């Protein structure tokens, strides 16, 4: 579809942004939905975030995705934020209402829970081990606690960062069973082996350093567990290979990426996005990179 006077714009802001897979995924969905919208990637310097958000408001964009390093900085430029943004202090989706108000959402945690659900899994009533304590670990730990996990253990190389994530989860959800462990040692082994759902939120195993030891030894994993890895390049990471060998069920990171984007598109359009089309576009774009 060639742009015309009715074409509306939506996009993603980040710095840098060239690596983003969102345009491929979102434009494939827009085509299938028959929406006369175009999704673009905007490289926005950190000191220009306010200008970029004001531009979206003034030009009447449908909305924006927000990626690193702007997820926290956009918040002061929005009119309203939802509960996830309030708790986590980061937004990845901005919706512009027809009146020009800007609403902030964070779809990462919900996207992850949907990716589990499409494999028939959930965290409700289950013990969860989150490995890592960076930006994605915060969203995932919070979402699992909010979605009814019976306990959440946060395991990280830098234990102080795990403490900070645990404090956030305790302060913003009703879950009291939140524990912390350093990555190496017996406590981590017990938490990982005892968990029903193990979620790797570290960057260990990401291409091009994909042929490394998994973030936890394969011997810590077992049959009956669900092991999810947020890293999506490669799709089957070293941790997921170890999970397969241990007889655990694995969930790759592509599902979360697709679903967080699909939830954003649902906010913007009010329609159910074509998730399989988005997944195919994402996998195609990933394959083209190698
Ligand atoms: P981040 O904020 O930079 O956090 C990275 C985490 O990895 C930290 O906890 C860090 O530990 C840990 N780490 C890094 N190298 C390590 C090593 N060699 N050994 C042990 N731990 C190590 O990153 P993020 O934004 O949370 O992203 C993490 C991963 O998730 C990336 O691969 C990213 O691509 C992926 N991700 C995927 C999705 C999706 O939709 N599938 C969404 C978001 C992120 P320290 O605290 O000790 O440094």
Q: Which CATH number does the domain housing residue 79 bear?
A: 3.40.50.10860
Could you read off the pLDDT of 129-171 as tens digits, one per residue?
999 999 999 999 999 999 999 999 999 999 999 999 999 999 9
Question: Looking at the domain assignment, is residue 3 inside a domain?
Answer: no
Q: Say if residue 61 is in the same domain as residue 17.
A: yes
CA of 202 from ligand 1 middle (Å) equals 3
Pocket test for ligand 1, best of 26, 72, 92, 132 (most atoms within 8 A of CB): 132
CATH number at residue 217: 3.40.50.720
Mean pLDDT, the chain, whole residue set: 97
Question: Looking at the domain assignment, is residue 2 inside a domain?
Answer: no
State the average pLDDT over residues 248-264: 98
Range of the domain at 35: 8-106+255-288
Compute the distance between CA of residue 194 and CA of residue 152 in angstroms, rounded to an integer. 11
Percent of the chain residues topping a pLDDT of 70:
100
- In short, whether 203's Cβ falls inside 6 Å of ligand 1 is yes
pLDDT confidence band for 287 (50 / 70 / 90): confident
Q: Say if residue 101 is in the same domain as residue 13.
A: yes
Residue 177 has pLDDT above 80, yes or no: yes
The question of whether 71 is a catalytic residue gets the answer: yes
pLDDT confidence band for 240 (50 / 70 / 90): very high
Residue 188 pLDDT: 97
Report the DSSP beta bridge partners of residue 42: 13
pLDDT confidence band for 290 (50 / 70 / 90): low
Q: Say if residue 138 is in the same domain as residue 26.
A: no
Pocket test for ligand 1, best of 114, 153, 201 (most atoms within 8 A of CB): 201
Question: Looking at the domain assignment, is residue 165 inside a domain?
Answer: yes
What one-character-per-residue DSSP string does 210-261 give?
A: -SS--SS-GGG--TT-EEEE---SSSS-HHHHHHHHHT-EEE-HHHHHHHHH
Q: Say if residue 246 is in the same domain as residue 128.
A: yes
Q: Does the pTM of the predicted model rise above 0.75?
A: yes
CA of 290 from ligand 1 middle (Å) equals 21
């Amino acid at each position: 579809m060639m742009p015309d006077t009715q074409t509306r714009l939506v996009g993603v802001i980040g710095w840098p942004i060239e690596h983003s897979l969102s345009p491929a995924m979102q434009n494939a969905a827009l085509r299938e939905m028959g929406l006369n919208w175009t999704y673009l990637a905007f490289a926005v310097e950190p000191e220009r975030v306010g200008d970029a958000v004001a531009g979206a408001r003034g030009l009447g964009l449908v909305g924006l995705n927000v990626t690193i390093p702007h997820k926290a900085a956009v918040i002061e430029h929005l009119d309203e934020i939802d509960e996830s943004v309030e708790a986590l202090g980061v937004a990845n989706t901005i919706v512009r209402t027809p009146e020009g108000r800007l609403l902030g959402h964070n779809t990462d945690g919900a996207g992850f829970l949907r990716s589990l659900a499409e494999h028939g899994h959930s965290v409700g009533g289950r013990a969860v081990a989150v490995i890592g304590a960076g930006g994605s670990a915060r969203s995932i730990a919070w979402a699992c606690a909010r979605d009814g996990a019976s306990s959440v253990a946060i395991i990280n190389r830098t234990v102080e960062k795990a403490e900070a994530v645990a404090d956030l989860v305790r302060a913003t959800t009703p879950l009291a069973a939140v524990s912390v462990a350093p990555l190496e040692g017996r406590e981590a082994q017990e938490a990982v082996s005892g968990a029903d759902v193990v979620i790797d939120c570290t960057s260990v195993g990401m291409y091009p350093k994909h042929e490394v030891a998994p973030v936890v030894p394969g011997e810590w994993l077992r049959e009956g567990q669900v092991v999810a890895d947020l890293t999506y390049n490669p799709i089957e990471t070293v941790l997921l290979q170890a999970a397969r060998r241990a007889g655990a069920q694995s969930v790759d990171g592509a599902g979360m990426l697709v679903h967080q984007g699909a939830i954003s598109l649902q906010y913007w359009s009010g329609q159910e996005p074509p998730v399989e089309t988005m997944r195919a576009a994402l996998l195609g774009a990933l394959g083209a990179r190698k």
